[in-house]
Chain A
Amino acid sequence: MTTDTMETADAGSTAPVPSSTKKPRRARAPKFLLALPAWTWFILFFALPVGLVLLYSLGEQVSSFVQKPDISPDVWSLDNFPKAFDPAFAPIFWRTLRISITGTFICLIISVPFSYWLATKVSPRWRGVLLGLVLVPFWTNFLVRTIGWQLILAPNGFVSQKLQDVGITSGDLGLLYTQAGVQIGVVYNYLPLMILPLYVAFERIDSAMTEASKDLGANRLKTFVQVTMPLAMPGAIAGMLLVFIPLMGDYITASLLGGAKGTMAGVLVADQFLNTFNWSRGAAMAVIMIGFILAALAVFAIVGLLLRAIVRARRRVSLPEAAA
């Protein structure tokens, strides 16, 4: 399922990828040896350590000071999983999922018109500059950006004061340390990852397609919905994956803006390692978190395929030429 995901993401941004798989394969010098160093690197510093964590989730915590859990096979059990998904902790996982899905969709909705504008309405001269401007926050330190939001969202901060001046609220509007604060923070932090693939997708659409649609009598809205958007779909999917996956594992935004109300799974996992000396439970929580991500991606893929089938069917009926 993960390889599936990868290919979808790739297809979204680089058209020629599919052709590479069709290339004739030749048995010549074993060039795959070139991948050996990277392969070794991934095994040594990713697969093995993460594998160890997975083992911890089956193990048993011996004592607080000997933090490494006992992972000898005779103590292996799945007991840590129900403990990690205890009623005390389960709501945090569901909240994480909710914040992530909401965040991904908000990003999508606000990015579509923006990327579309940037790719089609702005003169090419300015496009590069504006695109550079989009990249600036993306390349500014994640933590520092979040601190910026701390300043803005504080009850004595700008947003709250301005709203009071205008008379929208009478008291302090404390968005800091609330779920709403986290929601704003994550949308902001992961937004560029949605804007850019969408931009790439819109920019690569051949204008002949949309013109053909108009020539065939479709109005602007219809053209956008039935021609432009389906063509930009790979970009939207890539963007959603790029936003959703890191958002589910977010630690920084939630711990800076969340307070007690906006804790997310990443913070919970880190807590088991940093505060409560329970590596086994922390590892189990990490596994559950990954499970949530994979499950969400699976649902996402199924829904996506269904939608595509529906859109295709509809498009064929209304605008056969444009679909070709």
Chain B
Amino acid sequence: MSDLNEPIKILAPPQAAQRISRRMFMGGAAGAAVAGSALLSACGEDATTDTGAAPVGEIESELNMFTWGEYNAPKVIKAFESDNDLKFTLDSYNSNEQLIAKLSAAKGTSGYDIIVPTGPFIPALVENELVQELDLSRIKNFDNLEEEYKDQPWDPGNKYSICKDWGTTGYAYDTTKINKEMTTWQDFLDVAMNEASGNVSVLESPDNAVGLWLWANDINWMTEDTGELDQCEEFLVSELAPHVKAFQSYPGGGDMQNGNFALVHAWNGDARQGILGADSPDQWKWVFPGPRTEIWMDTYAIPVGAPHPNAAYAWMDYLLQPEVSLKELEYIGYNTGVKDIQPLAEDAGVERLDMVFFTPEQVAIMESGELNSAQDRRVEIYNKFKSAAGN
């Protein structure tokens, strides 16, 4: 009954499932262009005929965004609402898988105007006709975006998406409960199974959960090696699972303050919100762990069937203004990729910028996710890990 090791269904179209190296990601240079042209030919004309950009028109009275949790500053949303006299509705998901599940199940009737997929998922969304082409001329502030965050390998020429922000994955621990200096993923696993046992939260996202062990063992987290993935499953299911208390994508949204956990696996921005919200700022310590970790870029895209596309364009354009972007950054704690945002944030005295901007040495150990043949396997490992944590 080992269905979990069974025929892997490839999530991405095979053409899109190519390896995307970190250099390509950050450089966005020649390599990207090559990958890009391959992609473009892969998702040829016929696939995109009915996903063309929406016609220009007046901003509608509503905007429905399907996004990650706590992912926009409330005052920015409020200002946009009152400027354009519209009703802004937010709904949230915890993983790209949840986003795709909802979009493909509803087949263009989801009612969302904007979605926020992570970069590597874009080709698959395009292939399955779930997102529509963007008309960049309608996003006047697009030029405010730093060049290195444009034209990414998964979406050459920003045909379907634009950068929202980017970040990494690390962890935070409660120093009142764990009296130990932690620096690596291996430390996370060790402490999780000892001092913090039963008080650990793991991200509710398959790739990140699988990454825990792979990163700790200095393996690329996008590995397609079945031996490595089997070992990873073995560890997560039989060793780590009993110590996990919950799978949470946003521990910073209240659980870090509640004392529910001693050790939380978290994205940098969410951990920062949790740390800033704690009773004393020193209670939680953020760790940027090695030897490898994740880099991700989330993007704005417009799903097929979006009822209010004009409002969606207006929103993307609005956010790319430096002042607005700074307000966003201050709240969400992620680098928005807008030109000169770092000096702006430093001048404004934004707290905990060490959790927002990373040094070149830190960036050097970050690796981007991708949709490859191991995707379904990762989801299965995660599924099993999650079930085993209950026993």
A→B interface (CB under 8 Å):
61-67, 82-83, 86-89, 91-92, 95, 154-157, 172, 174, 176-177, 259-263, 268, 271, 273-277, 281
Contact = CB atoms under 8 A, between A and B. Distances in A.
What are the 10 tightest A-B residue pairs by CB atom distance, in nearest-first order?
Answer: A259-B246, A260-B389, A83-B3, A155-B259, A154-B258, A156-B259, A65-B128, A64-B11, A88-B384, A177-B246
Interface in B297-341: none
Main secondary structure of the interface of A (DSSP, over half): loop
Give the interface size class of chain B.
35 or more
Given A154-B258, A156-B257, A176-B260, A89 B387 contact: yes
B1 A87 contact: yes
Given A67-B101, A88-B384, A91-B391, A155 B245 contact: no
A83 B6 CA distance: 10
A152 to B, nearest CB: 11
B247 interface: yes
B376 interface: yes
Interface stretch (B92-100, B288-296, B344-352): B92-100
Contact of B390 (A156, A172, A260, A281): A260
Contacts of B241: 260
A64 B98 CA distance: 12
A86 B101 contact: no
Nearest to B247: A260
Contacts, number: 105
Nearest to B105: A67
B245 A261 contact: yes
A260 B244 contact: yes
A244 B244 CA distance: 29
B388 interface: yes
A92 B1 contact: no
Contacts of A88: 4, 237, 383-384, 387-388
A261 B390 contact: yes
Contacts of A154: 258-260
B98 A262 contact: no
Given A273-B101, A273-B105, A277-B100, A155 B260 contact: yes
B101 A277 contact: yes
B61 interface: no
A86 B390 contact: no
